[in-house]
Amino acid sequence: MTKILPRILISALLVSLMAGCSSLNNEKPDETQGWSAEKLFSAAKSEQVSRSYDASNKLLEKLEARFPYGRYAQQAQLEMGYNYYKDQEPALALAAIDRFIKQNPSHPSLDYALYLKGLVTFNESQGFMSSMSKQDMSERDPKAAKESFNSFRDLVQRFPDSKYARDAEIRMGYLIGAMAKYELHVGRYYFQRGAYLAAANRGRALLDNYANTKQVEDALGLMIQSYDKLGMKELSADTRRVLLQNYPNSKAAEVNFATDPYWWAPI
């Protein structure tokens, strides 16, 4: 009898604990249980409008899990990309957008997906620290800028009549200028370090890739001075002729490229 009693007490305790856990679970039921795809999507959009991006994504994830097929599931992927973008989670945003593009290559919102992808990398290319330190975008690694440009270019080429095309073109122009300035900064950096061949090659790369930018004039000047330092008089003279043919009053060949006021200039 004495051995049975503790067993009864233990069993009763276990039942009580299980009942307690059950009651705790019942206190927080999933209010979305039984919701339609349309209702889940509407609720997610409401959270998005309220800038509750994490809450919006949780609803969108439930929508995808419960209704993996159909237009709401497709749109959920794109909305998650937007939420991550607004919540400053570029890697997650790009993953969601790329998944949407891969799984829905003929979706009516594909132009928007490409535009959104360009925006994510456009903002990433500027970077948080550039706004904190007043660092020019053109001084940053151009990888994100190139990715952004490619997304916008893809949009403009594939959907020239898209309502996003004009803004994409404007951003492309900005990105081209920034990438050309980056090449010029790198060329100046090499010149300062005495790497004159590398400086000349960087100037040449600018001419080849960004021929319609205003940085071409200084790139030619950088090449002339680099060739002079290397004793390549013929190349220097040829480049000077090109400079003066295109910029008759240019002083670029006389600019002191040994100094550059930017953050990476050697002290």
Q: Is the pLDDT of residue 91 over 90?
A: yes
Spatial contact of 159 and 193, defined as CB atoms under 8 Å apart? no
Spatial contact of 101 and 79, defined as CB atoms under 8 Å apart? no
Higher pLDDT, 26 or 138: 26
pTM: 0.73
Q: Is the pLDDT of residue 245 over 90?
A: yes
Give pLDDT, residue 259: 67
Interatomic CA distance for residues 197 and 58, integer angstroms: 55
Q: Is the pLDDT of residue 86 over 80?
A: yes
pLDDT digits over 154-178, tens only?
999 999 999 999 999 999 999 999 8
CB atoms within 10 A of CB 205: 15
pLDDT digits over 125-136, tens only?
655 334 334 444
Distances (CA, A) of 8 to 17, 21, 22, 123: 14, 20, 21, 65
pLDDT digits over 19-78, tens only?
555 444 555 678 889 899 999 999 999 999 999 999 999 999 999 999 998 899 999 999
In the chain, % helix, strand, coil (3-state, to 5) comes to 75, 0, 25
Q: What is the DSSP string of 66-130?
A: H--SSHHHHHHHHHHHHHHHHTT-HHHHHHHHHHHHHH-TT-TTHHHHHHHHHHHHHHHHH-HHH
pLDDT mean across residues, the chain: 85
Out of 89-98, 122-131, 140-149, pick the least confident.
122-131
Q: Is the pLDDT of residue 5 over 60?
A: no
Residues 6+ apart with CB under 8 A from 77: 64, 96, 99, 100, 103, 104
Q: Shortest CA distance to 72 belongs to which of 83, 85, 59?
A: 59
Residues 6+ apart with CB under 8 A from 181: 136, 138, 139, 215
